[in-house]
A and B are shown apart, each in its own frame.
Chain A
Amino acid sequence: MDNMNDVKRQTLAMLVDNEPGVLSQIARLFSRKGYNIEAFAAGPTENPGVTRITIDVMADAPHTELLCNQLRKIYPVHSVKWLNAESSIYRELMLVKVRAETSERRNDVMQLANIFRAQIIDVSLQTLTLGISGDADKLSGLENILREFDILEIARTGVVAMERGTATINDESKERGEFSYGKNVL
Chain B
Amino acid sequence: MKLSGADILMECLLEQDVDTIFGYPGGTILNVYDALVKYRGRINHYLTAHEQGASHAADGYARSTGKVGVAFATSGPGATNLTTGVATAYMDSSPVVFISCNVAENLIGKDSFQEVDSTGIMLPITKSNFQVTDVNKLADTVRKAFAIARSGRPGPVFIDILKNVTAEMAEYEFIPRREHKAAGAIRSLYERSLADFKVPAIDEEDIDKLVEMINESEKPMLICGGGVVRARAHKEFNEFSNLVDAPTAITVMGGGGMQGRNPHTTGMIGMHGSQASNIACDNCDLLIAVGCRFSDRVALDPQSFAKQAKIVHIDIDRSEINKNIMTDHHIIGDAKDVLRMLNERLTQQEHTEWKNFVFSYPTETVYEEGGDTLTPKQVCDTIARLVPQDTIVATDVGQHQMWAIQHFHFDYPGQLITSGGFGTMGFGLGAAIGAKVGNPDKMVIHVAGDGSFRMNCNELCTEQYYNIPVITFIFDNRTLGMVRQWQNLIYKKNFSETTLDRGPDFVKLAEAYGLHGWRVNNQKDLEKAILEAMDCGEGCVIDCMLDIDEMVRPMVGGGSHITDFMKI
With A69-B318, A181-B316, A183-B152 as contacts: A75 and B127 at CB distance below 8 Å: yes
* B337-357 near A? 1/0 per residue, CB < 8 Å: 000000000000000000000
CB contact between A75 and one of B131, B148, B199, B332 (< 8 Å): that residue: B148
Is the Cβ of A185 less than 8 Å from the Cβ of B318?
A: no
Is the Cβ of A180 less than 8 Å from the Cβ of B151?
A: no
CB A149 to nearest CB in B, in angstroms, measures 43
CB contact between A69 and one of B148, B152, B319 (< 8 Å): that residue: B319
A21–B186 CA distance with the chains assembled, in angstroms: 19
Which of B116-124, B301-309, B398-406, B426-434 interfaces with chain A? B116-124
A66–B152 CA distance with the chains assembled, in angstroms: 19
Which of A91-99, A158-166, A171-179 interfaces with chain B? A171-179
A78–B194 CA distance with the chains assembled, in angstroms: 11
A186–B153 CA distance with the chains assembled, in angstroms: 12
CB B367 to nearest CB in A, in angstroms, measures 42
CB contact between B319 and one of A21, A72, A174, A186 (< 8 Å): that residue: A72
Q: Kindly identify, within residues 164 to 208 of chain B, every residue whose CB is under 8 Å from any CB belonging to chain A.
A: 181, 186, 189-190, 192-194, 197-200, 203
CB contact between B322 and one of A20, A65, A181 (< 8 Å): that residue: A65
Residues of A within 8 A of B323 (CB): 66, 69
Residues of A within 8 A of B128 (CB): 75
A16–B507 CA distance with the chains assembled, in angstroms: 56
Is the Cβ of B152 less than 8 Å from the Cβ of A24?
A: no
Is the Cβ of B332 less than 8 Å from the Cβ of A178?
A: yes
Residues of A within 8 A of B192 (CB): 78
Q: Kindly identify, within residues 324 to 340 of chain B, every residue whose CB is under 8 Å from any CB belonging to chain A.
A: 332-333
A8 contacts B by Cβ under 8 Å: no
B147 contacts A by Cβ under 8 Å: yes
Interface of B is mostly: mixed
CB B16 to nearest CB in A, in angstroms, measures 13
A140 contacts B by Cβ under 8 Å: no
A72–B186 CA distance with the chains assembled, in angstroms: 18
Most buried by A among B119, B189, B193, B321: B193
With A20-B131, A182-B332 as contacts: A175 and B318 at CB distance below 8 Å: yes
What size tier do the contact residues of chain B reach?
35 or more
Is the Cβ of B322 less than 8 Å from the Cβ of A182?
A: no
Is the Cβ of A186 less than 8 Å from the Cβ of B181?
A: yes
Residues of A within 8 A of B181 (CB): 185-186
CB contact between A21 and one of B123, B316, B317 (< 8 Å): that residue: B123
Is the Cβ of B131 less than 8 Å from the Cβ of A185?
A: no
* A64-100 near B? 1/0 per residue, CB < 8 Å: 0110011011010010000000000000000000000
A152–B368 CA distance with the chains assembled, in angstroms: 78
Residue on B nearest A72 in the bound complex, by CB: B319
A179–B317 CA distance with the chains assembled, in angstroms: 7
A28 contacts B by Cβ under 8 Å: yes
A147 contacts B by Cβ under 8 Å: no
CB A68 to nearest CB in B, in angstroms, measures 9
Residues of A within 8 A of B153 (CB): 182
A36 contacts B by Cβ under 8 Å: no
A144 contacts B by Cβ under 8 Å: no
A75–B119 CA distance with the chains assembled, in angstroms: 15
Beyond the given A69-B323, A180-B194, A185-B147, could you list 17 further A-B residue pairs with CB under 8 A, ordered by the A residue number? A21-B120, A21-B123, A24-B123, A70-B319, A73-B319, A75-B128, A75-B148, A75-B189, A78-B193, A178-B332, A182-B317, A183-B189, A184-B151, A184-B190, A184-B200, A185-B151, A185-B186
List residues of A whose CB falls within 8 A of some B CB.
Answer: 20-21, 24-25, 28, 32, 65-66, 69-70, 72-73, 75, 78, 174-186
Q: List 7 A-B contacts (CB under 8 A).
A: A21-B120, A32-B124, A75-B127, A175-B318, A181-B316, A184-B200, A186-B190
Q: Give 3 closest A-B pairs by Cβ, nearest first.
A: A69-B319, A180-B193, A185-B147
